[in-house]
């Protein structure tokens, strides 16, 4: 009789979702985030875990929340501008994805737009104004 080996399921990769804001007014972002992941083949609870951290506009909480995600050894951290600054201070090895309405070079998140360097990348929304 052959002995059966128990197969332990491999742990799911973990994505850290970090925001400086409260969760309720931004629930639509979580929905859009999940939908985007699903389009890329990642379904929460099936082949990826998402750890949510919300600072509820208490910016002094961001460093601790970011450090918690780093300690959890997440595969990547996704966040808004203020949260990403805390994540950048917490790790230089975990990939960080940002969404912000600011110049990432001017704000110190990237070395340049064409070669950001480091472990950060993201999407930014630039607006131009013209003075006459």
- Whether 83 and 62 have beta carbons less than 8 Å apart is answered as yes
**Is there a domain that residue 87 lies in?**
yes
5 pLDDT higher than 60: no
**Is there a domain that residue 104 lies in?**
yes
Tens of pLDDT, residues 28-62: 999 999 999 999 999 999 999 999 999 999 999 99
Residue 47 CB contacts under 8 Å (≥ 6 apart), including other chains: 12, 13, 41
Q: What is the mean pLDDT of residues 74-95?
A: 95
**Is there a domain that residue 132 lies in?**
no
Split into its structural domains, the chain has a count of 1
**Is there a domain that residue 129 lies in?**
no
Select from 109, 89, 90 the least CA-distant residue to 99. 109
CATH code (residue 100): 3.40.50.2300
**Is there a domain that residue 6 lies in?**
no
Backbone angles phi, psi at 24, to 5 degrees: -55, -50
**Is there a domain that residue 105 lies in?**
yes
Under the banding of pLDDT at 50, 70 and 90, the label for residue 127 is low
pLDDT of residue 41: 96
| Range of the structural domain that residue 36 is part of | 14-124
Task: Say what percent of the chain tops pLDDT 70.
Answer: 88
């Amino acid at each position: 009789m052959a002995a059966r080996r128990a197969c332990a399921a491999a742990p799911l990769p973990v994505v850290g979702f970090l925001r400086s804001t409260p969760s309720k007014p931004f629930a639509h972002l979580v929905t859009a985030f999940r939908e985007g992941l699903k389009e890329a083949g990642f379904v929460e609870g099936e082949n990826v875990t998402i750890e949510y951290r919300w600072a509820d506009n208490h910016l002094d909480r961001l460093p601790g929340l970011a450090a918690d995600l780093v300690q959890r050894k997440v595969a990547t951290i996704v966040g808004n501008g203020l949260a990403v600054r805390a994540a950048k201070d917490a790790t230089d090895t975990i990939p960080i994805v940002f969404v912000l309405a600011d110049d990432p070079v001017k704000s110190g998140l990237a070395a340049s737009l064409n070669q950001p360097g480091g472990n950060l990348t993201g999407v930014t929304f630039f607006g131009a104004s013209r003075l006459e």
